[in-house]
Amino acid sequence: MFGLIGHSTSFEEARQKARTLGYDAFADGDLDMWCAAPPQLVERITINSPTGKSIEGAYIDSVFVPEMLRRFKTAKRKVLKAMELAQRCGIDITALGGFTSIIFEDMNLLREQRVSAVELDWQRFTTGNTHTAWVICQQVETNAPRLGIDLGKARVAVVGATGDIGSAVCRWMQRRGVGELLLVARRPQPLAELRDSLGEGRVLALDEALAEADVVVWVASLPQSLEIDSARLPRPCLMIDGGYPKNLDSKAAAPGVHVLKGGIVEFWQDIGWQMMEVAEMAVPQRQMFACFAEAILLDFEQLHTNFSWGRNNITLEAMDRIGAASLRHGFKALELAPADQPAPALASA
């Protein structure tokens, strides 16, 4: 059995969703009430692979909302309690979605293995980052050529390059071969180390990189206040919004700048669930975060282990492996909508 731990993108949205799902008491509750509320197993799901295999899973809402991020203890408890619930329900492999894995990582919850009476078994959890990284790389490789961008010559900027997903994307792009890697991250020291380990790439500030990049992979959380001057971006420009939350399209939209939601996959058939509507997927019956899909894939493959865990442990071999499983079980990386692609004549011009 697989599990997905998710949450709403804002308190307001969470309340609305609670109303539509019939949780009226939650819809009426204030933020303090939500802080004290325990995680909820909201939905049980059956998923069928094109291989004929069928698996069962559960969606757990941690009853966390981003408004709680400043309450460290609350945020921490939300994540641990949701994991405790997943383990108690006997779920073999659970993906930590949205802020769940970010909180887990940043608050160093590895130290908090004991939750009340339960000793968390880390083997039962995955960040899903390997699959997310693989999907983002697929999205670059598939969509850049459609915009007339020759990846072999293109400058590819990775914003958040030193993170778990970012560094994996850098290594993948290096193996694939791109014109030049532009490395952007907040802290200089890990950036220098990444540059050394790759043996290539140019370290740049964000605005310098944006002025040069044909492809921008965003895998850092963007401050709401970040403003991008699209006039200075090269054209065409492919932007993969792989951060969380996904809010890049509102910032960078301009003719010739193509923003694609990164790390999203589409399943080969409808899934009878309600929860992806919460995540504002365009096709909620089929689309989901790639990190969630990783738990599904690991369950299909009977790989009940923390496939993605810790920081900067993602290998190219692991990406190849999860990528092959992804294709085998009917997942496809989200692509640019046809309207977003230039006419063929234009593209070849």
**Are the beta carbons of 248 and 239 closer than 8 angstroms?**
yes
Which residues are 119's β-sheet partners? 114
Annotate each residue in 198-227 with x if it binds another protein (CB under 8 A) or - if it does not, as one string.
--------xx--xx--------xxxxxxxx
Residue 245, Cβ density class (10 Å: 0-12 exposed, 13-18 middle, ≥19 buried): middle
Provide the 8-state DSSP code for 125: E
Among 222, 237, 306, 297, residue whose Cα is nearest residue 265: 297
Nearest to residue 59, comparing CAs of 244, 242, 295, 283? 295
- For another protein, the closer of residues 67 and 320 by Cβ is 67
Tell me the three state secondary structure of residue 38. coil
One residue of 2, 3, 5, 84 binding another protein per CB under 8 A: 84
Q: Which positions from 37 to 56 touch another protein by CB under 8 A, shown as an x/- string?
A: xxxxxxx-------------
Q: Contacting another protein (CB under 8 A), which of 19, 175, 186, 235?
A: 186
Strands (E), 232-274: 237-241, 257-261, 264-267
Residue 166 within binding range of another protein, rule CB under 8 A: no
- Binder among 69, 203, 316, 347 for another protein (CB under 8 A): 69
Q: Pattern of binders to another protein over 104-143, x per CB under 8 A?
A: --xxx-------xx--------------------------
Binding status of residue 234 toward another protein by CB under 8 A = no
Residues between 9 and 28 that touch another protein (CB under 8 A): 9-10, 22-26, 28
| Surface-to-core class of residue 221, CB atoms within 10 Å of its CB (0-12 exposed, 13-18 middle, 19+ buried) | middle
Positions in the binding site for another protein (CB under 8 A)? 9-10, 22-26, 28-29, 32-33, 35-43, 66-67, 69-74, 77, 81, 84-85, 88-89, 99, 102, 106-108, 116-117, 186, 206-207, 210-211, 220-229, 232, 245, 247
